Amino acid sequence: MTKTIMLACAGGFSTSLIVKHIQAAAAKEKLDYKVFATAAVNAEEELESEHPSVLMLGPQVRYMLPDLKKQLDIPVQVINMQDYGLMNGAHILHDAMKLMGDE
């Protein structure tokens, strides 16, 4: 079963770019993950419809972390600000993999 990595940020635009970098890093390592991004305002409905394995938050919505950790039964983490700024898809992918127990 393919695992799903969901990214959420303020508008969904910056994380959409990061999704491409994560997908490229996963392809390079021959890993099969579904990766998608959404705006934080849509996160709840995306969580219900997509059932992701892990949720990674953009640094600008880190305030959502405590509530989401209480509500969800999947790992939730804020993306490292430096990795986010540099769009380091490989680092973000490996952080997500650790949270899912795949590394």
Which residues are marked as active site?
Answer: 9
Nearest to 90 by CA among 33, 38, 9, 11: 33
Torsion of CA 59, 63, 68, 69, to 10 degrees: 90
